[in-house]
Chain A
């Protein structure tokens, strides 16, 4: 199973690396239009070809990696923080606080997430910040549930009792003793969350509600290209493969990690 983590980590690492050193990789400005070089197929000058405005696709893809992955990571950080807060509070205090939190989770699980996201994007407007916040706001339930369960089981173990006897405050007990124990499962859900957020952003882009031009994201590059699908296949193929690779690498990493952290599912 560690092989899966490794393959996923290498793929994801490559993508992140590409995004980080983006300026060093590209000969062209991702915004530079060149109407005499419209819709060129991949070749020596433009290794991924050009788009309908004559922009270099490779440059746009590399900068798109920055945008797409930033959206993925920030959205997941937001949902992780929300999930950590709600989950640990619910799990630690129990009682009414817990059941209220769990009903809220039920509500979030019942509303089709994409509907909710679509609705909020329409109402708030599709800026990058809004999209990250909205995806974060709507995808914290898995983390909250896993945290809650972990906090409840860790709470029962002896050393937390010992910490309480020593007289540590509640917040300190949670932070010092419980959180380090639950980082494993949280990390698993974060990797799945990143892939989910990247997919969601590209889906929104496809509907015209994702990251808006002039910022390139894999989703909006693909969406702009779809009108030229029968003549300029590269405009659809490359961003699709990029999204797939990012999502796939996160998913197999998450899958491998899950098997490590959760011996029950291990097979």
Chain B
């Protein structure tokens, strides 16, 4: 297992370097150089920030030196300061991170649980009316524009039947609540955003679980389990399920960038104080350091998520654990 994980980590190094190269290229993509563009576009830039920016990207140095500089700053998590309020980017990102993680991890969890249930039951009753309906429903979720659905939902639950909160992470009187009430309040605010994220992501996982389950159920060790006289429930929910769910762990890791990427649309719609909304606000006000910071951190989160998925996979699959 150690060798497997070490190999995985070594493979990550070029990926990380690649991400830094791409973000670096994009900075330099702007016609006329981005500090200049920035000066023209953003009047709010203070002279101090300007100087800092020039120093940060070392625009007078040769390109490779600039890149190495950028790299060494990244290693120290120094993304510079925001143009808007001159606060360090890393601070701004870190204070938004928990809300994003909360939303995304909850959504992934919900997708995993529901996707597994739909996939497994679909595999057991393949081509039944139930299976067809579920396929249609998940496929609809996959095809519907999420922000549109969010608008409709907000319309329904805020205007027509005001039962669910549609904006923010907590109520106005949050500070005055007891600890248990606080948790409940945040959970209540998460219902709609999580529902919409999960609805969109369900098709991917449930379809995979279904085909994986169908494949496992046709394997000889399942026939052998029946031949042993085991109970069908035990065969399906123990022998087959563990085998068919293992690859899903990796899949969850792979679906991370999509979910994080989608989060700035959700976060903007639901006024969720997360990183996605920060990135959007930064983009709209041409706050380059914050844009670069959020992209790099989002990519880093994805890498971390993939690594965690790899570790989890290695731990549950004995073929990798004992190698």
Contacts and interface: CB of A to CB of B under 8 A. Distances in A.
Given A195-B143, A267-B126, A115 B19 contact: no
B148 A236 contact: yes
B62 interface: no
Given A195-B143, A203-B145, A255-B139, A112 B261 contact: yes
Interface string B130-149: 00000000011011111111
Main secondary structure on B side of the interface with A: helix
A255 B142 CA distance: 12
B295 A111 contact: yes
A195 B142 CA distance: 10
A221 B146 CA distance: 16
Interface size class of B (residues with CB under 8 A): 35 or more
A110 B19 contact: yes
Interface stretch (B26-34, B89-97, B168-176): B26-34
Interface in B253-274: 254, 257-258, 260-262, 264-265, 268
A107 B151 contact: no
A230 B155 contact: yes
B145 A209 contact: no
Contact of A203 (B15, B143, B210, B265): B265
Contacts of B283: 118-119, 122, 207, 209
Interface string B261-299: 110110010000000000110011010000110110011
Nearest to B20: A107
Contacts of B265: 114, 203, 206-207
A5 to B, nearest CB: 14
Among the interface residues B139, B148, B214, B261, which one has the most CB atoms of the partner chain A within 10 A?
A: B148
Given A103-B18, A267-B210, A109 B152 contact: no
A236 B152 contact: yes
A16 B262 CA distance: 28
Nearest to B34: A123
B211 interface: yes
Contacts of A199: 145
Interface in B151-166: 151-152, 155, 159
Interface in A88-123: 103-104, 106-107, 109-116, 118-120, 122-123
A247 interface: yes
Contact of B291 (A112, A119, A240, A248): A119
Nearest to B301: A112
A23 interface: no
A12 to B, nearest CB: 12
A177 interface: no
Given A103-B18, A240-B145, A207 B280 contact: yes
Contact of B258 (A104, A112, A208, A230): A112
Nearest to B302: A110
Contacts of A159: none
Contacts of B15: 103, 106-107, 110
Contacts of B299: 110-112, 115
28 contacts: A107-B18, A111-B22, A114-B262, A115-B261, A115-B294, A115-B295, A118-B280, A119-B283, A119-B295, A120-B29, A124-B29, A124-B30, A199-B145, A202-B145, A207-B265, A208-B284, A233-B155, A236-B152, A240-B144, A240-B151, A243-B145, A243-B148, A248-B139, A248-B143, A251-B139, A251-B143, A252-B139, A267-B214
Interface of B: 11, 14-15, 18-19, 22-23, 26-27, 29-30, 34, 126, 139-140, 142-149, 151-152, 155, 159, 210-211, 214, 254, 257-258, 260-262, 264-265, 268, 279-280, 283-284, 286, 291-292, 294-295, 298-299, 302-303, 306
